[in-house]
Amino acid sequence: MSTFGAVFGEAFRLIGALDLALLDIVWLSLRVSLSAVLISTVVALPFGAALAVTRFPGRDALVVTVNALLGLPAVVVGLAIYLLLSRAGPLGTFGILFTPAAMVVAQAVLIFPLIAALARQAVADAWREYAEQMRSLGAGPVASSLALLHDLRFSLVTIVLAAFGRAIAEVGAVMIVGGNIDGVTRVMTTAIALETSKGDLPLALGLGIVLLGIVLLLNVGAHLLKERAQRHHA
């Protein structure tokens, strides 16, 4: 393909032009994926930690299930959420299909197993060191989980970033539940899919490079913050 030069040219043109429509798409991508990550994190971190520090019947089955859900294709998540949110579905009365809210729901569901499984693993590893001390202090599962999540915050940042990466790079689910509506639910990935459909491969790849750049910037920011904090805590 002689188009690689054209691709980078297109990417720089897109960035240089600061096209308003593109900015809208970028902003929506960030808004949707950050919201999904926030919602999912608030639920999945305590859930994963609880799985690590408590013992109850069926716990192992639950752990295996959560780990297996990591392999769930985004399209399947999208379809399931579509059927739930459709007017003919059980949650149809909310009328949020083909809105950004539906995309947030789909992405939050999609990344939940990722955050929960990795958080469980991280907490379980640390728990071996902490368990006796926590029980000696009289800390129950809730206090122990929260303390461990706090102590593991630097590793958890990496997990949350991975989840964000999966959310913002995902196309199958948001295409189905968002509908790729111009100006309403069109995000970076669905725009890329659309331009690919139109055969405008340089523009599609140019958008891809812009997406990569955004994810990279976020990761650099998070990394610097993490480094600073970690140096402080040794």
Partner 1 sequence: MREPGPPMLPLVLEGIGFSAGGRDILSGIDLVLEAGPRTVILGPNGAGKSVLMRICHGLLAPTSGRVLWSHRERPGEPRRQAMVFQRPVLLRRSVLGNLTFALAVVGVPHYEREARAVAALGRVGLAAHARRPARVLSGGEQQRLALARAWMLEPEVLFLDEPTANLDPGAVREIEAIVQSIHASGTKVVMVTHNLGQARRLGDEVVFLDRGRIVERSAIDRFFRTPATAQADAFLKGELPWH
Partner 2 sequence: MALNRRRVAAAFLATALALGAQAQEKSIVVASTTSTEQSGLFGHILPAFAKSTGIAVRVVALGTGQALDVGRRGDADVVFVHDRAAEDRFVAEGYGVDRRDVMYNDFVLIGPKSDPAKVAGGRDVAAALKAIAAARAPFVSRGDKSGTHAAELRYFKDAGVDPGEGKGSWYRETGSGMGPALNTASSMNAYVLADRGTWLAFRNRGELRIVVEGDTRMFNPYGVILVNPAKHPHVKQAEGRAFMDWIVAAEGQAAIAGYKVGGEQLFFPDAKR
* Binding partner at 88 among partner 2, partner 1, none, C-beta below 5 to 8 Å by kind: partner 2
Return d(Cα 188, Cα 103) in angstroms, integer: 13
Name the segment binding partner 2 (CB under 8 A); options: 32-40, 56-64, 111-119, 157-165.
32-40
- Choose between 132 and 228: whose C-beta lies nearer to partner 1: 132
- Choose between 48 and 179: whose C-beta lies nearer to partner 2: 179
32 binds partner 2 (CB under 8 A): yes
Q: Are 206 and 11 in contact (CB under 8 A)?
A: yes
Name the segment binding partner 2 (CB under 8 A); options: 45-53, 62-70, 115-123, 173-181.
173-181
Nearest Cα to 72, choosing from 60, 81, 85? Answer: 81
Q: What secondary structure letter does DSSP report for 194?
A: H
**16, two tokens:** 């240089």
| Residues whose CB falls within 8 Å of the CB of residue 162, separated by 6 or more in sequence, listed in order | 114, 118
Return d(Cα 53, Cα 146) in angstroms, integer: 11
Q: Are 125 and 155 in contact (CB under 8 A)?
A: no
CA angle 32, 120, 165 (to 5 degrees): 30
Residues that bind partner 1 in the complex, under the rule CB under 8 A? 129-130, 132-133, 135-139, 143, 147, 150-151, 153, 232-234
Shortest spacing between CB 101 and partner 2, in angstroms:
5
- Choose between 31 and 153: whose C-beta lies nearer to partner 1: 153
- Choose between 136 and 197: whose C-beta lies nearer to partner 2: 197
* Binding partner at 58 among partner 2, partner 1, none, C-beta below 5 to 8 Å by kind: none
Shortest spacing between CB 94 and partner 2, in angstroms:
11
- Choose between 132 and 183: whose C-beta lies nearer to partner 1: 132
Burial, 178: exposed, middle or buried (Cβ in 10 Å; 0-12, 13-18, 19+)? buried
Is residue 68 within a helix (H) or strand (E), and if so which, with residue range? helix 59-69
- Choose between 63 and 206: whose C-beta lies nearer to partner 2: 206
* Binding partner at 130 among partner 2, partner 1, none, C-beta below 5 to 8 Å by kind: partner 1
Tell the residue number behind the tokens 């690689």, with chain if given. 4
Q: Are 170 and 110 in contact (CB under 8 A)?
A: yes
Contacts to partner 2 by CB under 8 A: 31-32, 34-35, 38-39, 41-42, 86-89, 92, 95-101, 104, 179-182, 184-185, 194, 196-201
